[in-house]
Chain A
Amino acid sequence: MARLGPLDYITWIGLIGLLYYIYLLVGDFGQFWGSPAVATGRISSLYRLTYFLSGGVFAIFMGSLIWLSIKFRDRGGA
C-alpha cells in the first residue's frame, strides 16, 4: 500500500480547497445572478446554504478524483 507523505496531503487538500473556491466563484458565492423572479429573494439564504454544502461534497470528490488520477498514473517501469 502506498504511503503518502505530508506534501501529498497538502497538495491533495490544497486541490480540494482550490476547487471549492472556483466553485464558489463560478456560482457568485451562492447568489442568484440577477434573477427577475420575486420568489428567489425569499429563499436566497436556503439556496446559499444548499450551494455551500453541496459545493463541499463536490470539491472533496472531484478534488480526490483528479488528485488520485494524477498521483497514481502509470509512470512505466516495474
Chain B
Amino acid sequence: MAIKDYIATGTGSTQGAERVERPQVVAAEVRPLYKDLRRIFTTTHHTDIGILYLTAGFLNFILAGLVAGVMRATLTARTPPISPSLYASLFTVHGTAMIFLAIVPISVGFANYLLPKMVGAPDMYWPKLNAFSFWLVPPASLLIWLGMPAIGWTGYAPLSVIEPGVGVDMWILGLHLLSISSIAGGLNFLMTVFKLRAPDLPLSRVPLFVWSMIATSFLMVAAIPALSVGLTLLLFDRNLGTSFFVPKGGGDALLWQHVFWFFGHPEVYILVLPAMGLVSEMIPRFAKRPIYGFRAIAMSSLLITIMSFGVWVHHMFTTGLSIEARIPFMAITMAIAIPSGIKVFNWTATLYDARISFKAPMLFALGFVATFLVGGITGVFLPVIPVDYALQDSYFVLGHFHFVVFGIILALVGATYYYFPYMTGRRYSEPLALISFANIFLGSMLTFTSMLALGVQGMPRRYYQYASVLPGLVPLHQLATVGYVFMAVGFILFFHNLVRSLRRGERAAEDPWGAMKMGLPDFHIPRRLARGAEVVG
C-alpha cells in the first residue's frame, strides 16, 4: 500500500483491522463528496464526516457573519435599519451560532478528519455514532436559526423563562441536540485515541493536536452535561410550571448563571484547545524545526482542562456573591494564564533558529498567536474584581472575547488552507490566500481593538442605540464597521479560493508541505510503510 493511499484511507493499523477491511471511500481519490448525494447521507467514514462537519460549520459561520454585518450597520447608521427586538434576536443567534454551530463543528470536523489518521486508527471507534453526532447538527442549526430568541447567547434567567413564543424552546432543543452530539463525539474521540491507537505509537509520541483533542474531549464529556441539565430545567420552567430559576416560585435566577458558566467557561477551552493543537501542528512545519517544549505544551492542555472547572464565578463577580466566594475564582482565573502562557512561549521559542516560510497557513497560525495574546492580556483585567465592576457587561468584555474567539477562527482558517491539499488533492491559490489573510487580520484588529476602546469609554454591550447619550463613541463604532468590511472581503476571498481551487486548483503533491521530507510527518505512518518509502514532495 502506498503512503498516499494509507493517508487517504487510514486502513493501515493492525489493531482493529478486522473492523475496517471493508471498502473505504476517499475524498481525494474517488468522486468528490459533494457530487455524491447518496454518500453524503449514508457515509460513516471519518474523512467524509469530517468534511461534512467542516461544510456545516463554515455555512453557519457565513450566516453568523452576515448577522454581524447587520448589527454593525445598525450601530453605525444614523437611523437603525432594524427594530430593537430584532437586534436582540440577532445578537443572540450570532453568539450562539458562532460558538455552537460554527467553531465547534469546524474544530470537530478537523478532529474527525485528522485524529484517526494521526493515531494510525482505521476510523473512529464508533463510526455510526460519529455519523449520528454529525446529523444532529443540521436540525439543531435549523431550530436555532428559525427560533431567533431575544435572550442573549447566555440565556440568562428569568428573561429566558418569561420570554413569550416558541423561539426560546427551539433554542433550548437545538442546544440539547448539540449537547448530545458533543458528548457522543467526545466519547468517540477518547475511545479512538485510547483503544484504536496504533500499537507502535505511544501516547508520548502522538501529535499535539491529539493531545489537545484528548483534553477537549474530556471537557466535552465532563462540562456539557451541566448545560444539558440547565436547559432541561429551563424547559421545565417554561412549559411545566416549575420554578428552578424564577424567584417568585422559590427558585433562584443566579442558579442558571452557576449552571451555565460551570459549562460555559470550559466551553471556551473546548473552542480554543483544538485551535491550539492545530497551530502546534502548523508552526513547526513552516518553521522547519520540531516544536519547542512538546511535553510542556501537551501537559499545559491537561492543566487548562483541570483549571477551567475552577473559574466560572469570574463571570458573576457583580452578582452579589460574598468576597470569600469570589477571591479563589479570581486567583484561579489569573493562574490559568500560566498554562496558556506556556503554550505561547513555546510557539514563540519554536521560531528561534528556524527557517520560516510565510505561506498562508503559517501567517494564520502566527495571527492566532498574536490575537490570542491580546485576548489573553485583556483577560487579565477582568478577574481583578474591582476592575471587573467597571468593565462588566461593557464592550471591553466583548472585545476581549472576540479577540480570543476570532483568534480561534484564524487558526481554523489557517488549518483549512493547510489540510486542503490532503482533503481535495488540489492546491489553493497562495496569492489569493495571502490577500485574504491581510484583509482578515487587519479587519479583525480594527474591529476588536475598537471594541476594547469603546468598553473603556463606557459603551455597554447589547445596546441598540447609544449616539444620543454617548456621541463621542460614534467614530469608534464606525471604525469597527470599517474593520468588519475588511474582514468580509477577506472571507469572501477565502471561500472563493476554496471553491475555485476545488475544481480548478493545481494537483497537490503527495507530501504537499514537505512535512515527511523534513521528518515531521502530518500523519502516523506505520513502520512497514515508512521503510523505503518514496515521497513525492
Partner-B contacts on A (CB < 8 A):
1-2, 26-27, 32-37, 39-40, 42-43, 46-47, 50-51, 53-55, 57-58, 61-62, 64-65, 68-69, 72-75
Q: Is the CB of A72 within 8 A of B381?
A: no
Q: Is the CB of A73 within 8 A of B358?
A: yes
A33–B377 CA distance with the chains assembled, in angstroms: 19
Closest A-chain residue to B452, C-beta based?
A27
- Spot the interface stretch: B33-41, B118-126, B147-155, B346-354: B346-354
Q: Is the CB of A50 within 8 A of B380?
A: yes
Mind listing 28 A-B residue pairs with CB under 8 Å?
A1-B353, A2-B353, A27-B456, A32-B457, A34-B457, A35-B390, A35-B458, A39-B389, A43-B390, A46-B384, A47-B381, A47-B387, A50-B381, A50-B384, A54-B377, A57-B377, A57-B380, A58-B377, A61-B348, A62-B373, A65-B351, A65-B370, A68-B352, A68-B354, A69-B358, A72-B354, A73-B358, A74-B357
Closest B-chain residue to A2, C-beta based?
B353
A42–B390 CA distance with the chains assembled, in angstroms: 10
User: Which A residues are CB-close (under 8 A) to B458?
Assistant: 35-37
B118 to A: closest C-beta gap in Å:
26
Q: Is the CB of B390 within 8 A of A32?
A: yes
Q: Which 7 residue pairs across A and B have the least CB separation, nearest first? A: A68-B351, A43-B386, A74-B355, A2-B353, A35-B458, A74-B357, A58-B377
Closest B-chain residue to A72, C-beta based?
B354
Which of B354, B355, B380 contacts A54 (CB under 8 A)?
Answer: B380
A32–B473 CA distance with the chains assembled, in angstroms: 14
Q: Is the CB of A47 within 8 A of B390?
A: yes
B279 to A: closest C-beta gap in Å:
12
Interface string of B357-399 (1 = CB under 8 A from A): 1100000001001100110011011001011011000000000
Q: Is the CB of A40 within 8 A of B390?
A: yes
Judge whether B520 is part of the interface by a CB distance below 8 angstroms. Answer: no
Judge whether B259 is part of the interface by a CB distance below 8 angstroms. Answer: no
Q: How large is the interface on B (under 10, 10 to 19, 20 to 34, 35 or more residues)?
A: 35 or more
User: Which B residues are CB-close (under 8 A) to A58?
Assistant: 373-374, 377
Q: Is the CB of B356 within 8 A of A74?
A: yes
A57–B345 CA distance with the chains assembled, in angstroms: 11
A51–B351 CA distance with the chains assembled, in angstroms: 28
Judge whether B288 is part of the interface by a CB distance below 8 angstroms. Answer: yes
Q: Is the CB of B355 within 8 A of A65?
A: no
Judge whether B247 is part of the interface by a CB distance below 8 angstroms. Answer: no
Q: Is the CB of B357 within 8 A of A64?
A: no
Which of A33, A54, A68, A75 contacts B453 (CB under 8 A)?
Answer: A33
Can you name 6 extra interface pairs (CB under 8 A) apart from A72-B351, A75-B355? A27-B456, A46-B384, A53-B380, A55-B377, A68-B351, A74-B357
Judge whether B344 is part of the interface by a CB distance below 8 angstroms. Answer: yes
User: Which B residues are CB-close (under 8 A) to A2?
Assistant: 352-353
Q: Is the CB of A33 within 8 A of B390?
A: no
Judge whether B472 is part of the interface by a CB distance below 8 angstroms. Answer: yes
Q: Is the CB of A72 within 8 A of B352?
A: yes
A32 to B: closest C-beta gap in Å:
6
User: Which B residues are CB-close (under 8 A) to A1?
Assistant: 353
B120 to A: closest C-beta gap in Å:
31
A61 to B: closest C-beta gap in Å:
5
